[in-house]
Amino acid sequence: MSNYYYVDTVDFSYQRMNVRLQGGFRVRRRATPKFWLFMIFTTLVVFSISFGVLQHRYAQGARQLEAIHEYRDELILQVRDLNDALDYAQTDDYVIRTARDQLGLIMPGEVRYVNGAS
C-alpha cells in the first residue's frame, strides 16, 4: 500500500512540472511546433513594437534638433546685427548724429536756424 501511495505522490508532482515517469526515469515533453511558432511570433511582435518606439523617439529627437538649429541660426543673426550696431555706435558719425538729434548740440562754427512756427 505504501508503494502505491509513493508512486501517486511522485506522479502527481511530476505532472505539475510537465514531466512523466517512464521506466523510473524523468522524461520532459518536447516542445511542439505550435509552441515554437508562438515564441517566434511573440518575439517578432516585441521587436516590432520596440522598433516602432525607437523610430518615434528618433524622429522626435530629429525634430527637436532641427528646432534647436533654427533657434541657433536666429541667435547668430541677432549677434551679427548687435555687433554691427555696436561697431556703428563706436564711430564718430554716430556720436555726432546723436549729439545733434537727441541733445540739440551743434559743431563749432555752425549757425543754428530756428523755425518760428514750431
Answer yes or no: is 52 within a domain: no
- Residue 2's domain spans which residues? 1-29
Number of domains into which the chain is organized: 1
Answer yes or no: is 3 within a domain: yes
pTM of the model: 0.51
Answer yes or no: is 91 within a domain: no
Answer yes or no: is 2 within a domain: yes
Pick the closest to residue 30 from 43, 20, 40, 41 (CA basis). Answer: 20
Answer yes or no: is 90 within a domain: no
Answer yes or no: is 24 within a domain: yes
Q: Are 10 and 22 in contact (CB under 8 A)?
A: no
Q: What is the pLDDT of residues 69-115, one digit of tens each?
A: 999 999 999 999 999 999 999 999 999 999 888 988 888 888 888 78
